Amino acid sequence: WGFCRSLAEPSIPSPVPIPSDSNVELTWDVFGGDMADILIIALKQRCDRDNLGTEKDTLAKQFRLHLHRGIGYLAGDPNLKKIENLIAIALSPEKLRN
């Protein structure tokens, strides 16, 4: 949810340092599940649109930045109180711009 929420934002994520003190590690296939191929295409398309290139290091960095920013957006949204609110955003992405 957070990754997709950030991709929906038109601005490029700020290149802030992201703490890597977690001992949790996920493979791309575990993160994306059945959507892994679609999510990598979306990330590549976004990086291309932002003129960042699609090299492996760039994709990895932009993924972390988008994920971190998106989680921040979701955590800071006072309207997200239950799963139904997330579903409403997914069904009506134009609400993100209001």
DSSP 73-88: HHHH-TT--SHHHHHH
Q: List Cα–Cα distances, 66 to 27, 37, 82, in angstroms.
A: 17, 17, 22
Could you count the other beta carbons within 10 Å of the beta carbon of residue 58?
A: 15
Q: What is the mean predicted confidence (pLDDT) over 49-57?
A: 96
Q: What is the mean predicted confidence (pLDDT) over 26-40?
A: 88
Q: How confident is the model at residue 26 (pLDDT cuts 50, 70, 90)?
A: confident
Q: Let me know: does 6 contact 69? Beta carbons within 8 Å.
A: yes
> What's the whole-model pTM score?
0.80
Write the pLDDT tens digit of every residue in 63-89.
999 999 999 988 898 888 898 888 887
pLDDT for 12: 95
